[in-house]
């Protein structure tokens, strides 16, 4: 048995892959491209797990999409684990709707569930599973929760099959049904949709019927078919999200509240002026000049004291002058600036590390 791990970039695929396979991994490249290929075996079984490159759709726009699409088409895994980021369902489900069109079983691993609370989101797994017609397992690859339940589902297979439910408008679904009769390859529904989208990979097997269907639909919707299909996918996703996700407003963070004040349309510039004045006041102004006085005072006393000492040792007038007016006064003149510079750079680093600099730079950009 072979399982393919499919998901967006940064959805946690590699983290999950490592949890599922432990140290039983082989790392190489996909043939012909420098995209990492990782294969391992599911802990405690002989099930093979393949980590596919991170993708956002099964269109052939990028090398990663090509590799993933080729794999699910040609090497036909027995099961796809679609790992999705629970905190951004909208983006993740676009790929999911495409995977569900394939003739391969799909289990959905709803990852990042540890972040939901923080973002004020609740996802009803039961409802999500009901609308997507397949098993959804809640996990956190980072916190290692739900992994045993996921492994159990993988070994036993999803509870609900995916019966290629209709997700597009009835006009589009009608044409898909008609095209079905003319397609002899596996993944019929997926291919039918791709034909309607004018996908170049399927141009070779494009029957004349597809051309007619596209024409009818483009006249009906007044858009090119790729746009129509994409926008209807998003309509479906929006509906699923409304059904399964509850969003509670979270209290604005301290950063949000501060931003509201310091980036306020009217207050931002006066506040910026006050801050710049403070920096000047501390480094060059009153505080700065106080440090200058302090240092030059100390240097002067040192010079007087040391000059006196040299005289008692019987040094000549020019030697005393060389040391006091030359060396001590010279070094002192440079030392004068050091506290000022120290204060100035301290202020600048505070403004930079707090993020104020980048915010105000952005704000002043137009000006
Ligand atoms: P990939 O690009 O899909 O392979 O994603 P990675 O496995 O490299 O994970 C991307 C980032 O998401 C890493 O910083 C992970 O630590 C983090 N991550 C993965 N799973 C979770 C999770 O369940 N919760 C949280 N909070 N972070 C996660
Ligand atoms: Mg990865």
Cβ count near 249 (within 10 Å): 6
Average pLDDT of the chain, as a whole number: 89
Decide: 82 in ligand 1 pocket, CB within 6 A. no
pLDDT, tens digit, 9 for 90 and up, residues 134-188: 999 999 999 999 999 999 999 887 776 656 889 999 999 999 999 888 888 889 8
Give the number of the atom of ligand 1 that is nearest the alpha carbon of residue 140: 23
- Atom of ligand 1 at shortest distance to CA of 7? 3
Percent of the chain topping pLDDT 70 = 98
| Per-residue pLDDT at 355 exceeds 80 | yes
Q: Is the CB of 12 inside a 6 Å radius of any atom of ligand 1?
A: yes
**Predicted confidence (pLDDT) per residue in 314-325, tens digit:** 888 899 999 988
More confident residue, 203 or 328: 328
Average pLDDT over residues 214-227: 92
**Banded model confidence at residue 60, pLDDT cuts 50, 70, 90:** confident
State the distance from the centre of ligand 1 to the C-alpha of 39, rounded, in angstroms.
18
How far is 37 from 5, CA to CA, in rounded Å?
A: 11
The stretch 335-350 carries a mean pLDDT of 92
What is the 283 CA–ligand 1 centroid distance (Å)? 44
**Predicted confidence (pLDDT) at residue 23 exceeds the cutoff of 80:** no
Q: Which has the higher per-residue pLDDT, 47 or 24?
A: 47
pLDDT on residue 286: 85
Neighbours of 159 (CB within 10 A): 10
- Decide whether any atom of ligand 1 lies within 6 Å of the 114 Cβ: yes
26-34: long-range contacts, CB 8 A cutoff, minimum separation 24: 30/67, 33/63, 33/66, 33/67
Checking if the pLDDT of 203 tops 80, the result is no
pLDDT bracket for residue 26 (50, 70, 90): confident
Are 231 and 200 within 8 A, CB to CB? no
Instruction: Indicate if the pLDDT at residue 199 is higher than 90.
Output: no
CB of 18 shorter than 6 A to ligand 1 = no
| Of residues 197 and 60, more confidently modeled | 197
Query: Is the CB–ligand 1 distance for residue 15 below 6 Å?
Result: yes
What pTM was estimated for this model as a whole?
0.72
Q: Work out the pLDDT band at 88, boundaries 50, 70, 90.
A: very high
Identify residues whose C-beta is under 5 A from ligand 2, the ion. Answer: 13-14
Per the structure block, which two tokens stand in for 174?
A: 């009608």
Q: What percent of the chain lies above the pLDDT cut of 90?
A: 56
Q: What is the pLDDT of residue 163?
A: 67
Query: Please, which residues have CB within 8 angstroms of residue 250's CB and are 6 or more apart in sequence?
Result: 118, 119, 120
Please state which of the ranges 95-99, 135-139, 206-210, 345-349 shows the lowest mean pLDDT: 206-210
Closest CA to 81 of 105, 49, 107, 55: 107
- Is the pLDDT at 224 greater than 80? The verdict is yes
pLDDT at 83 over 70: yes
Distances (CA, A) of 94 to 193, 232, 256: 14, 11, 30
pLDDT of residue 63: 87
Pocket test for ligand 1, best of 142, 143, 150 (most atoms within 8 A of CB): 142
What band does 106 get if pLDDT is binned at 50, 70 and 90? very high
Tokens of 351: 């403004």
pLDDT at 315: 85
Residue 125's pLDDT band (cuts 50, 70, 90): very high
* Res 206: pLDDT: 66
Residue-level pLDDT at 162: 59
User: Are 54 and 7 a contacting pair, CB within 8 Å?
Assistant: yes
Query: Is the model more confident about 199 or about 160?
Result: 199
Q: Would you state the pLDDT for residue 98?
A: 94
Nearest C-alpha to atom 16 of ligand 1 is from which residue? 142
Average pLDDT for 210-216: 89
pLDDT at residue 230 greater than cutoff 70:
yes
């Amino acid at each position: 048995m072979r399982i393919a791990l499919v998901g967006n970039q940064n959805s946690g695929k590699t983290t999950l892959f490592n949890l599922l396979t432990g140290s039983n991994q082989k790392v190489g490249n996909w043939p012909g491209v420098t995209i990492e290929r990782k294969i391992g075996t599911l802990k405690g079984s002989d099930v093979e797990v393949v980590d596919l490159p991170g993708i956002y759709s099964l269109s052939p726009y990028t090398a990663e999409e090509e590799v993933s699409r080729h794999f699910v088409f040609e090497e036909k895994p027995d099961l796809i684990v679609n790992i999705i980021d629970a905190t951004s369902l909208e983006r993740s489900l676009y790929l999911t709707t495409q995977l569900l069109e394939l003739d391969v079983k799909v289990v959905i691993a709803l990852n990042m569930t540890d972040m939901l609370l923080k973002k004020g989101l609740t996802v009803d797994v039961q409802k999500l599973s009901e609308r997507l017609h397949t098993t959804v397992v809640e996990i956190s690859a980072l916190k290692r929760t739900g992994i045993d339940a996921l492994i159990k589902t993988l070994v036993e297979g999803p509870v609900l099959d995916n019966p290629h439910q209709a997700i597009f408008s009835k006009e589009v679904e009608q044409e898909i049904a008609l095209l079905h009769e003319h397609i002899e390859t596996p993944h019929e529904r997926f291919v039918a949709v791709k034909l309607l989208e004018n996908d170049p990979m399927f141009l070779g097997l494009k029957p004349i019927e597809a051309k007619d269907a596209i024409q009818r639909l483009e006249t009906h919707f007044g858009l090119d078919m790729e746009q129509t299909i994409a926008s209807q996918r998003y309509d479906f996703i929006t509906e699923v999200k409304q059904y399964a996700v509850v969003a509670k407003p979270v209290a604005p963070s301290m950063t949000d509240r501060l931003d509201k004040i310091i980036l306020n349309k009217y207050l931002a510039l006066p506040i910026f002026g006050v801050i710049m004045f403070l920096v000047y006041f501390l480094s060059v102004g009153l505080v700065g000049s106080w440090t200058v006085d302090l240092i030059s005072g100390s240097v002067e006393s040192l010079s007087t004291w040391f000059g006196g000492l040299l005289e008692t040792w019987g040094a000549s007038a020019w030697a005393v002058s060389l040391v006091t007016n030359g060396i001590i006064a010279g070094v002192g003149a440079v030392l004068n600036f050091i506290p000022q510079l120290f204060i100035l750079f301290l202020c600048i680093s505070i403004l930079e590390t707090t993020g104020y600099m980048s915010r105000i730079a952005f704000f002043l950009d137009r000006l």
